[in-house]
Structure 1
């Protein structure tokens, strides 16, 4: 039986009484071990949602439940032990002089014994393939390496859920690929639940399921393939389809019978190869 690890019920929030709702009656759930992408343009409400999930803001209406614990002023620290956040700019998260010092920071704050802390730090750094950089200064690493160190710091504490809050938006294509591959591997090896909050539909392609936000409301929900099939509805709200999805749509409109709307270049190439090998 699939376990619901996080549930958002009728969540609403606005920053001033005379302002529009940043979130309005948003409901969804997350299954343990899945990767959920929450995508939307600037002002869609996804950043407000990220702040609420980590207890930086509290719901004005509705509830957030993590492992049967309802988010409130009294339970904020319990929730934060369950949810680890990786932010847009990793430089803002670094506090240690070296990679190993930085990964150890969260464990020190939680009072872990030194022996256990050393073991967890080594394990977490190895999991993100940064063992060769343990004595390096985090600020001197590449963007992708910095985010992998930030992920190691989260993994060492062993939360149930890892939230990536625009964590790849400042990276070049190589760094973005490094981070997404690391996250995918951790999800599979650790059964870690991933929530990635992003405006980049390329990142959505890596997820198991996606939610599209627009003007504080949930616009659509489904697999990446189902979400990308919305096509023009996504571009109308300011989102840009990945190249493979746009090309798939153009080929279908031109009468070329590709099997579906592809979310990756590899899938489209394979489909075209299969199609033309039969001709």
Structure 2
């Protein structure tokens, strides 16, 4: 499989700090994969995000993006491979209209006018925001703002998109909306996604999850594998998804649940199946 991002034995120490924010971090993200990096505040995930986009240089170790080693000489080449969506979309808006905002990054890349128009229209259509092209970004809802931020990122046609706490300021509906958009884009364009979050509710649909604590990688695997360490996750200050907690509570109380459900959809589906089965028994 083709490697999109490779992190080799990376450590980082902030100036005047005695301890390392990151210690000997190594992992790979493959082309087309969705990897979620999760950890509580202070785990090192935000520092790792800054290293991945070149805002901070590693104290030791190396980072490669799409085969390009990340350093001072290559930083702009690396950033051409990346699209980034931050926590607060308001901090990313620079244009007076949605169209102007999506155009900003393209103008900086020197994209020709006709090609720019095509990319703006296509990007906004992909996130279902084409009807808002002349609206002021700051008048949009939280979910709509993040859709525009995603459009600005994908208009650059990156190979890798990094979501840095991109849904943390949204309500449950807005989170679901943004994650659905990203899942669709990844499937359609074989896009690599790295999602950095403290919210375990977001990891269920990832291909792979990396759990960080105190600057180190402590767990790695599929969502189901990671959630099997329920108590350990809670000890690290992470809240298990409500659907998982309820599944286990029902099972402990004698309800014949077949699985610990990572999503509400799965939990509701099984409860409805159980209800239907019980109703059939009663009517007979």
Q: Provide TM-score, normalisation by structure 2.
A: 0.94
Counterpart position of 1:104: 103
Cα deviation per residue 1:55-79 (whole Å; 9 max; x = unaligned)? 0001111111111111111111111
CA distance in 2, matches of 1:259, 1:57: 46
Partner of 1:156: 155
- SS in structure 1 of the partner of residue 84 of structure 2: strand
CA shift, 1:231, in A, is 0.6
Aligned to 2:24, the other structure's residue is in SS state strand
8 Å contact kept, 1:229–1:261: no
Number of residue pairs matched by the alignment = 278
Cα distance in 1 for partners of 2:79, 2:184 equals: 23
Conserved in 2, the CA contact under 8 Å of 1:22 and 1:215? yes
**Gap runs ≥5 in structure 2:** none
Q: Distance in 2 between matches of 1:152 and 1:272?
A: 37
SS of the equivalent of 2:71 reads coil
Does 2:117 correspond to 1:118?
yes
- Tell me, yes or no, if the aligned pair for 1:180 and 1:206 is still in contact at 8 Å: no
Cα distance per residue 1:21-47 (max 9 Å; x no partner): 111011111011111110000000000
SS of 1:57's equivalent in the other structure is coil
Aligned to 2:2: 3
Measured after TM superposition, the shift of residue 274 of structure 1 is 4.1
Q: How far off its partner does 1:229 sit?
A: 1.4
The Cα shift of 1:17 comes to 5.3
* Offset from partner CA, 1:216-267 (integer Å, 9 cap, x none): 0001011111111111111111110111111122233334442232100111
The match for 1:127 is 126
- Structure 1 stretches lacking a partner, 5+ long: none
**Residue equivalent to 1:220:** 219
Deviations 1:72-104 (A, max 9, x none): 111111111111110000011011110011001
Q: CA deviation at 1:174?
A: 1.6
**Residues 17-166 of structure 1: matches in 2 within 5 Å?**
18-166=17-165
* Higher radius of gyration, 1 or 2: 2
Q: What is residue 258 of structure 1 aligned with on the other side?
A: 257
